[in-house]
Structure 1
């Protein structure tokens, strides 16, 4: 083997060709599956996009580094499915840019967190995790309840998402700031357009418990409450397997 290495390394052309050959193996392994992606990504006709408020919450989730301790991908292992719910499908992440699957679980996986707890629970948990989970090592995020949510740049965020394939309409982009406010203030005049653009099932309420003010807490809780709820594809897949 040492003689083989000596011959390769002493000949520049051979050495370059060997590097290209080895590197191409990794490239083929990564690229080849993309040609069959239409066959591997499940159909989800009921899939909906994030509302501006939920998207703002997702941005805050990334800003605060929450993904470093919480994964968002339930594997097909039996113990994971029994603990967290139906395993994650590729289609559930088609509007996530970037994807937040993760692999480290200092805290539990939150792919199916939506509607598992009340808004009040989430607010208390984010304000001081030990109040609801005494053994928690999660840091407190009290400033989310104090910080007003910046919404004037939301049209730009939706436009950027559309550029990478998320089907936001011109009306959604144009009304992004108003819809973010309307979702958290269902009694306001801005609320009507939210359900019209995003569907009647959209969560409409003051997520932080205070309808008079739009905070970063509103946005983050709105995002957490929709996790695993953008489509019913995973639940339908599980029911089909049970039926078989």
Structure 2
């Protein structure tokens, strides 16, 4: 059958298009029935602390996701630049996830610990002062605005409703102690959210000024945790291939 015949015959075009789509769909769907789990079994991944969670809110509010992705693809050039490719497990507590679809700026999946707190503060206040070629806008108000965390408990309860293991009862708290350890479980306990947020901000001193808790404290805390939860040195190369 000539290609011209297919293009000029609506019936053949519809039939063959559906056939191609069906084959493509089966190639993607059938393997899923032979995979027990698509989320990797790794240690270290935990929900965000109250301060990190508010920082993520700032990240979303300012539209950072429109220019920065948080998904390193399994290609050699990406791994050389950004590090180990992203795992599904690293985003399992994100609602919504921040994988992104555009990179006007670099991927941020593993930005945590790459720069100092001071660098992040300066970069957010005046990007071109540290990266001359940057086209990122300035965000000076982040260090000027006090952080509003009056609704942090409600925000954590909302995430708990969709499966994020924040605890409210003693039973839930004990389950988190067994799963994440006591130090992490304490930070995930909703009744202590306000005090946990204040303590983390003061101890971390993310914006360089302990006189108050600002939006800058929160967003830097969030950036500094990205990509730091999984210790990839514990896993052999190719460990996660079975999940792909």
| TM-score (normalizing by structure 2) | 0.76
- 5+ residue gaps, structure 1, are 9-17, 187-204
Q: Which residue does the alignment assign to 1:212?
A: 211
Q: How is 1:1-80 mapped onto 2 (pairs within 5 angstroms)? A: 5=11, 38-80=36-78
- Following TM superposition, by how much is the alpha carbon of 1:5 offset from its aligned partner in structure 2, in angstroms? 4.2
Q: Which residue does the alignment assign to 1:13?
A: none
Paired with 2:11 and 2:202, the residues of 1 have a C-alpha distance of 70
- Taking a change above 3 Å as real, the CA distance of residues 165 and 140 of structure 1, as seen in their structure-2 partners, is same
- Taking a change above 3 Å as real, the CA distance of residues 167 and 33 of structure 1, as seen in their structure-2 partners, is farther
- Following TM superposition, by how much is the alpha carbon of 1:38 offset from its aligned partner in structure 2, in angstroms? 4.5
Counterpart contact for 1:53–1:222, Cα < 8 Å: yes
Paired with 1:176 and 1:41, the residues of 2 have a C-alpha distance of 28
- Taking a change above 3 Å as real, the CA distance of residues 212 and 27 of structure 1, as seen in their structure-2 partners, is farther
Q: Which residue does the alignment assign to 1:133?
A: 131
RMSD, matched Cα? 2.6
- 5+ residue gaps, structure 2, are 1-5, 174-188, 240-244
Displacement over 3 Å in runs of 4+: 1-6, 24-38, 234-237, 239-242
Paired with 2:225 and 2:215, the residues of 1 have a C-alpha distance of 16
Paired with 2:30 and 2:50, the residues of 1 have a C-alpha distance of 35
Paired with 2:238 and 2:26, the residues of 1 have a C-alpha distance of 33
Counterpart contact for 1:74–1:84, Cα < 8 Å: yes
| TM-score (normalizing by structure 1) | 0.76
